[in-house]
Structure 1
């Protein structure tokens, strides 16, 4: 498939056929993925390929009980990983500098870049996937199940398999709300309303088309799509909790060392 066709046809797949992914195909996709850009060409990431059903079932709860975790034949978890390089540095008697938040960010960006390369390669081969924010939100639980040692943190993950559904392509915000030329152009109130106008309509209709979500909305004090995001979907309380989880896990995994200011 043409790469532009692949990109424009992306949609999240949550229902999968039982067909396994051939090891040769999976290897081909991963080999294409690791050609992604990488800071300093360090490849400060690792990819965990989970196919064992029992382990996928163990990941079901920390992945917020999303059915695709057990229904898809493969789960891919992309980890920020400086453990491998720290060992090499130690063997080479080089300073162990990669034990701080900046190092985590470098590795997290590397992991995210390779995850998207793998995703594009997979979709070009007719596979479907769905990214899961639960990978980072519950990184401590997922890290324990995947037996991640110090220096490794799960950042990005998704289910992978042959699609058993053909959902509509989701809308995106208009280009003039996303692209800034030369410098950042802060939007005035009217422009903000214009940028989010179609999303307000389409997004609200989408949520109200699901009986469970419709009931949840009707049983709450939510009146518009913005409130769905912040009162139901991404609450302050949940984000504070997940923030503390990530920060505590980063400290445990050796990414929060720093010199006194």
Structure 2
């Protein structure tokens, strides 16, 4: 369990391949995660071929680790398999709606996180790639995902070629509410974020981006409103193309 407290994202990898038995164990651990109704509403596309990784790299904004890591896993919410099973058994499925894309997304996320813990127990490193959502349609095309299947996230997996420091986290009292949600007063928000803002890395972010504070780095540089709206609209359109009814 110490693994959970030592986790860090790895962005540099050795060329050493992952043994197939180890990789299968990692994926099998993913399947032991809790899931909705034991329906296992997820799938994973394993990419090891160098040319295939090179094809996907631009969709991940050309992050070097995509081509460097020996394995790229694209984790998908998947109602296709269960829908087909229902159809085969003359059962009327109603899983192509908002409730079930959320259920499948939760399933896929738990599946992914179980794989991460198992991978780290074998000395492997991992890094989540949120870009799967940004370019969902392009991943659907590249990986030939049928209707009912939607990329939720991706993982690079391999043996670490770096040992970065642990990243900061908000104090526990920032995320825990007893019995009912207690909304935050301005002074409490400032207090809970004070340590994060005081880090030298945070100050460097602010300076490099010529901003007044760390919050502005997030809103004006890292996750801009215009980009959020653009990719959200694109995401909604892609979900509809994949057969999900969102209205």
Give the TM-score normalised by structure 1.
Answer: 0.91
Q: 1:227 aligns with which of 200, 216, 240?
A: 216
Helix, strand or coil: the match of 1:16? coil
Matched, 1:73 2:70: yes
Deviation of 1:96 after TM superposition, in Å, equals 2.2
User: Shift in Å at residue 208 of structure 1?
Assistant: 5.6
CA shift in 2, pair 1:38/1:249, >3 Å: same
In the alignment, structure 1 residue 166 sits paired with structure 2 residue 163: yes
Task: Tell me, yes or no, if structure 1 residue 187 matches structure 2 residue 176.
Answer: no
| Distance of 1:231 and 1:59 partners within structure 2 | 27
Q: Which residue of 2 aligns with 1:48?
A: 45
**Distance in 2 (alpha carbons) for counterparts of 1:88 and 1:48:** 20
Name the CA distance, whole Å, in 2 between partners of 1:50 and 1:199.
Answer: 36
State the SS of the aligned residue for 2:59.
coil
Matches of 2:203 and 2:48 in 1, distance apart? 35
Q: Measure, in 1, the Cα distance between the counterparts of 2:57 and 2:207.
A: 25
1:62 — aligned with what? 59
TM-score, scaled to structure 2: 0.97
Shift of 1:143: 1.5
| Structure 2 counterpart of 1:88 | 85
| Contact 2:196–2:202, Cα closer than 8 Å, also in 1 | no
Q: Report the aligned-residue RMSD.
A: 1.4
DSSP-derived class of the 1:240 partner: helix
Question: 8 Å contact 2:10–2:125 — kept in the other structure?
Answer: yes
Q: 2: CA distance between counterparts of 1:57 and 1:214?
A: 34
Q: Give the drift of 1:86.
A: 0.9
- The Cα of 1:214 is off from its aligned counterpart by 5.2
In structure 1, the partner of 2:226 is 237
Distance 2:3 2:45 in 1: 24
Q: Which runs of 5+ in 2 are unaligned?
A: none
Instruction: Name which of 230, 236, 241 aligns with 1:247.
Output: 236
Structure 2 CA distance for aligned equivalents of residues 239 and 20 of structure 1: 36
Please, which of 2, 26, 38 is the counterpart of residue 23 of structure 2? 26
Q: Describe the SS at the equivalent of 1:62.
A: helix
Looking at structure 1, the residues matched to 160 and 201 of structure 2 have their Cα atoms a distance apart, in angstroms, of 21
Cα deviation digits, residues 35-87 of structure 1 (max 9, x gap)? 00010100010011111111111111111111111010001111000111111
Deviant stretches of 4+, over 4 Å: 207-210
- Distance in 1, matches of 2:148 and 2:234, equals 16
- Structure 2 counterpart of 1:176: 173
What aligned pairs does 1:134-153 form with structure 2 within 5 A after superposition? 134-153=131-150
